[in-house]
Structure 1
Amino acid sequence: MTDTPIRRIAALGSSYAAGPGIEPVADRRANRSARNYPHLLAERLGAELTDLTVSGATTDTITTTPQRVLLHTFAPQVAGLPEDADLVTITAGGNDLGYIGSMVRLGVAGRCSSRALTRPLGTVLQRKGVPRPSQADVDRAAAGLARVVEETRRRAAHARVLLVGYLTVVGPDTRDSRATPFDAATLDDFRRLGDQVADVFTRAATRSGAELVAMRQRSREHGLGSLEPWVTGLPERLRPSSVAGAFHPNGAGMSAVADAIAEHL
């Protein structure tokens, strides 16, 4: 643990930091849990927390563009950063590449395709397939994440800044199932896309000089289908409230991320 006291933490990011589907809910409009990793970390360190995370955020909505969610608009997250923050955590960039959103879409498509009544909807949802970002797309996402770091340093000059990566979703044990209705080729495509998201963090850390808490390799044996998954699969009943948390960290996953950050500190 760091010798310098951490009295105030701020958290920026998308759903992988916000924690949709994990009770209790801290902010329903932001799809933000009161037991996400920023809350768990602040509790462990005895620090005050400013949690600015919003599910669906991109690097742009964190830095410059207001984020519209239903009837509410969130200002760019950095606008809420406290100047006296000692530590700022950042988890974002996956939405810039369409990572988890496409997994939810294709998961619902796979489930719909298994029934004659909903098969036409499944066919429509499957048309786009898994995103295939180019190297230029990865570079742009990394540049966006590096801008988040730069803007964080501008507003909270004395804060230690940590980039916190995404947990593995499709791991070596993930197979076609009700919770993960993907064929082998689609699973491989999502593994590739997960690697690209991890590369975004590596590149952003190199570009910005921020510290990196890399979670992909650390969580490799805890993907869907493993004995102890740190993420959720597609729920049995497809309701908007439950689907929002699909393919996201569960309580154990958030605890593992908080543990990794504490170990890093």
Structure 2
Amino acid sequence: MTYRHVVALGSSFAAGPGIPPVVDAAAGRSGANYAHLFADAIGARLTDLTVSGATTATVLDQPQRVGRTTFPPQLSGVPEDADLVTVTVGGNDLGYLQTMLRLAWANQFQRRWWTRAAGNRLARGPVPVADPDIVVGGLTAIVDAVHERAPGARVVLVDYLTLLEEKTVPPFTDVQHRALRALGRRVSGAFAVAAQATGAGLVQASVLSAGHGVGTAEPWVNGFVPSTRRATSAFHPNAAGMRAIADELVRTLGART
């Protein structure tokens, strides 16, 4: 199959914050995210609409405000001539990354007496036992809407890279680690259900990346560094993770120039 116009929709796991080169600072969008690498590999045109922090709602029909920049709903930018659309979004609907960062900072602050009170406040509230049907519904609506805007497009859902392996890694406790892994499985499971329900393609980055989580010898995601300067890239794909997804897209789609 030859693809000539690829469109990328999604949140930070598609946008690639912190990976150089930065092509849109407000969107946290990298020129070396998986969509860019894939399009370059097959010689296709790319329309990258990804925005860090996006939810299924801001892909579908709600504007997204980031600082002083307002991004229109991503679907409004999907052109009629798109023949392949990739989608990675839904984790923010369930508070996946937000919860990981909240607990990571809470545990960091609790280590020192002068920040312990702030840490205790951040630690309040458990890991959410969120309903994955929220993501299934959002992804299903996105696939249907893409087909309305670009009737000839193939839609491929790309789920989230594995963040945490079985062994507990800092800065999380055993209890937090288990709960966060369970939340990650709910996110990935929603992609599988949505793909089956809609007939969309599915690239299981979660399976592909097993053994490459935080703290492994060859991580495809960034760990936690207690620095506000690097906060946007913590627990997000690194360059190796983006390259692995791009290579898998080329392999599974059989795309060629």
User: What TM-score do the two structures reach when normalised by structure 2?
Assistant: 0.96
- The residue that corresponds to 1:249 in the other structure is 237
Q: CA-to-partner distance for each residue in 1:212-263, whole Å, 9 max, x for gaps?
A: 111112211101111111000112x411x41011100000000011111111
Identify the residue that residue 171 of structure 1 maps to in structure 2: 165
C-alpha deviations, 1:45-97, integer Å up to 9, x for none? 11111000000100010001111111111100000011111110000111111
Letter of the 1:196 counterpart: R
- Paired with 1:141 and 1:204, the residues of 2 have a C-alpha distance of 8
Runs of 4+ aligned structure 1 residues displaced above 2 Å come to none
**2:71 maps to what in 1?**
74
**Does residue 160 of the first structure (1) align with residue 154 of the second (2)?**
yes
Mapping for residues 91-240 of structure 1, pairs under 5 Å: 91-133=88-130, 137-173=131-167, 175-177=168-170, 181-235=171-225, 237-239=226-228
**Identity among equivalent pairs (%):** 49
Q: Tell me the equivalent position of 2:47.
A: 50
Matching residue's letter, 1:87: L
Counterpart of 1:261?
249
Distance (Å, rounded) in 2 between the aligned partners of 1:38 and 1:53 = 10
Q: 1:14 aligns with which of 1, 5, 11?
A: 11
1:162 partner SS: strand
Gaps of 5+ in 2: none
Distance 2:4 2:99 in 1: 38
Per-residue CA deviations over 1:162-201 (Å, capped at 9, x if unaligned) read 000100001124x332xxx100110000110011001110
Shift of 1:126: 0.8
Q: Deviations over 1:104-138 (max 9, x none)?
A: 111111111111111111111111231111xxx21
Report if aligned partners of 1:165, 1:215 keep a CA contact under 8 Å in 2.
yes
CA distance in 1, matches of 2:34, 2:205: 13
The number of equivalent residue pairs is 253
**Structure 1, unaligned stretches of length 5 or more?**
none
Q: TM-score, structure 1 length as denominator?
A: 0.93
